[in-house]
Amino acid sequence: MSTPPAPPVITAADPAAFPHSVFHVRHPKVIAQVKAALPYGPEQLSALDAFLDATLHGTLDPLPQDDAGDRAQWDLWGAPYFGRGLRWTDAPFLWAESYFHRRLLSATGYFAGLWRGVDPFGPMKAASLGSAGLAAELAQLGSTASLSAEERDAAALHASLWGNRADLGFQLVAGAPVVPEVLVDDGPALYAHLDAAPGRVNLVADNAAEELVYDLLLLDHLLASGRATELTLYLKPRPYYVSDATPQDFAAAVHLLETVPGPAADAARRLRAACADGRLVLVAAEFFCAPLGFDALPKEILDAIATARVTLFKGDLNYRRLVGDRLWPQNTPFRTLTSYLPGPVAALRTYKSDVSVGLDPETVRALDAAEPGWRFGGRHAVIQFGGAADGEGVSGR
């Protein structure tokens, strides 16, 4: 098959486009929320103000000295952009957002001093995890007992999918809850693949709190139903993109499940047992906080993808990193764009940014006509299964 050239990488330079609003509307709200969340002193508060001002009006400069030990790494990643008079919005959107979140941690003192290791988003994550709505939903889990096996399979997958709407950065700018719509549902094909031969399932997590709770229930469902013999859960080693899940968030999510008697607590007990005997392994890989696409995944993660029955990628950011943060023609097959990976992959993604692939042109035309902002509202979603690697590819990713 011929390999179409890759379209341009997305930047935030166009003031009329969505990525620009992330820097100019969402990020000021993120910083205001962080300043309000913890009782920081004048040093952290003024560092946060100065940082925001630099992202809005300044140019891209190297990482300040802090104790994280990754300055040389960022100097390499930032070499094309640092010290060239580029605005934050001129760099690739994926790169610049990742750098924003790394710099935000520095400004809060996350790497040195009193606030070392304190998650600036911790209070927001705790509030989301402690919400009455989530507790009520978990208390109702017993009602799925009356569903057919297929309905239970779909419910576990879709709860994990829609848990992604509970991304706390997105919630800062999201409108009222809306009726969700799944544009592509490869869920049955994914289950058929696992039924044909169980094996290890990898899940690359996205957000903490509500989303992670439903991810854990999906993992428990795969283990309890015999589809997964082992599980690997990939987490972030430190706070990132507001609410991305860290090992501490994993512990908090398991703890919440334990407090809800019935199916939730039963799932928590099984997950704890799987942690204890090594069937559920947590990996907090540095790579997942890097400003790179998954075409740059390190060997150990590629090996884990190659030997898994399937690797599930959660959320919008992982989707951008998986298929490439570019304005692809929307009918580009998901399978083609993920065939560079050495094993079967699936994405559970709600739409919160431009990137869109694997849709038929008629669907796109109808969506554009009926709801012009449909790619940013979190109301639409896809469950796309790439199957096994088949050698097709796109040049220039």
Ligand X SMILES: O=P(O)(O)OC[C@@]1(O)O[C@H](CO)[C@@H](O)[C@@H]1O
By CB under 6 A, residue 158 contacts ligand X:
no
Among 57-65, 84-92, 123-131, 163-171, the segment contacting ligand X (CB under 6 A): 163-171
CB of 36 to ligand X, least distance (A): 20
By CB under 6 A, residue 22 contacts ligand X:
yes
Query: Is residue 120 within 8 Å of 37, Cβ to Cβ?
Result: yes
Q: Which is nearer to ligand X, 20 or 279 (CB)?
A: 20
Number of residues that bind ligand X (CB under 6 A): 15
Q: Which is nearer to ligand X, 169 or 239 (CB)?
A: 169
Among 5-13, 145-153, 164-172, 175-183, the segment contacting ligand X (CB under 6 A): 164-172
By CB under 6 A, residue 213 contacts ligand X:
no
The residue from 164, 311, 336, 356 that contacts ligand X (CB under 6 A) is 164
CB of 320 to ligand X, least distance (A): 6
Among 73-81, 161-169, 300-308, 327-335, the segment contacting ligand X (CB under 6 A): 161-169
By CB under 6 A, residue 55 contacts ligand X:
no
Strand order in the sheet with 310-314: 181-185, 380-385, 345-350, 310-314, 199-204, 228-235, 280-284
CB of 75 to ligand X, least distance (A): 24
Q: Which of residues 65-104 bind ligand X (CB under 6 A)?
A: 97
Neighbour tally for 300: CB within 10 Å: 10
Q: Which of residues 325-384 bind ligand X (CB under 6 A)?
A: 352-353
By CB under 6 A, residue 167 contacts ligand X:
yes
What is the x/- site pattern for ligand X, positions 222-261, by CB under 6 A? -------------------x--------------------
**Separation between Cα atoms, residue 207 and residue 169, nearest integer Å:** 10
CB of 23 to ligand X, least distance (A): 9
The residue from 47, 129, 219, 317 that contacts ligand X (CB under 6 A) is 317
CB of 389 to ligand X, least distance (A): 24
By CB under 6 A, residue 106 contacts ligand X:
no
The residue from 110, 312, 316, 339 that contacts ligand X (CB under 6 A) is 316
**Which residues contact ligand X by CB under 6 A?**
22, 97, 164, 167, 169-170, 206-207, 241, 315-317, 320, 352-353
